[in-house]
Amino acid sequence: MASQEHHQPLEDRVVLVTGAARRIGAALVRGVHGQGANVVIHFGNSREAAESLAAELDADRPGSVATVQADLLDPNAPGTLVDEAIRAFSGLDVLINNASTFYPTPVGSIDERVWTDLLGTNLKAPLFLAQAAAPHLRRRNGSIVNMVDIHARHPLPDHPVYNAAKAGLAALTLALAGDLGPEVRVNGIAPGAILWPEGEQDLQAQQTILDQTCLGRTGQAQDIVDCALYLLSAGYVTGQVIAVDGGRSIGW
């Protein structure tokens, strides 16, 4: 009897993940790498974390990881990131727009700096990265996954600029699905309470959020990874934004 070779779902595919050194970004990197992908880890300021993650994964599968530093507010960053992915692995199959900035901007405190920062990282960078990647993704019937937020539809108080940026990203996801199809599939994930913001110590506020969540608990980074892996394998799914929020978006 002839032996059957085992092929992993993303074997030899090239995946670029932005904001990939820590937290959900690092979990996404581990998830796609574990399915056989070659991964380009983008980072902004977290060089040590990015290089540590790359070393960990490269030890498991030598030559399967590259790291690239870029400030996503730099107009040259999208082209640089895509070029580095092509240089490292001679192609690009998947773009995961995960990088994000998040902080409150109460009305009365909003200025051009926070507008440029929040719109730049959460909306402008994903658009220009998708544009730079599109020719390569089209050649390989690739995919884009955008990390949106449930607050794109249910605004978070005192975060109007962030809310607007993520709402724009949700709309961009649908627009790109139409404009880049049929060769490229484009989908989004809208997380709920997965990881609390760093430095968040307000236990009462956290409990209020959990009380609004049907499942009554926080999710795990792996829940986001599982959704991303589904979207990367679901060949007839495009133009969708899936809430991974334990039901919070219906439990208001």
What per-residue confidence (pLDDT) applies to 252?
A: 52
Task: Write down the domain spans for the chain.
Answer: 14-247
Please count the helices (runs of H) and the strands (runs of E) in the chain: 8, 7
What per-residue confidence (pLDDT) applies to 164?
A: 98
Contacts of 166 (CB under 8 A, 6+ apart): 122, 123, 148, 149, 151, 152
What per-residue confidence (pLDDT) applies to 234?
A: 97
Contacts of 215 (CB under 8 A, 6+ apart): 246, 247
What per-residue confidence (pLDDT) applies to 213?
A: 82
Instruction: Compute the distance between CA of residue 30 and CA of residue 228 in angstroms, rounded to an integer.
Output: 12
Active-site residue, 162 included: yes
Helix axes 23-34, 221-233, angle to 10 degrees: 50
Mean pLDDT split into 10-residue runs, the chain, 252 residues: 61 97 97 98 97 98 97 97 97 98 96 98 98 98 97 94 98 98 98 77 78 85 97 98 90 58
Strand partners, 67: 41
This prediction has a pTM of: 0.94
What per-residue confidence (pLDDT) applies to 3?
A: 45
CATH class of 14-247: alpha beta
What per-residue confidence (pLDDT) applies to 6?
A: 57
The active-site residue, picked from 103, 162, 230, 236, is: 162
The side-by-side arrangement of strands in the sheet containing 185-191 is 65-69, 38-43, 14-17, 94-97, 143-147, 185-191, 241-244
CA distances to 96, 101, 184 from 131, rounded to whole Å, are 13, 21, 12
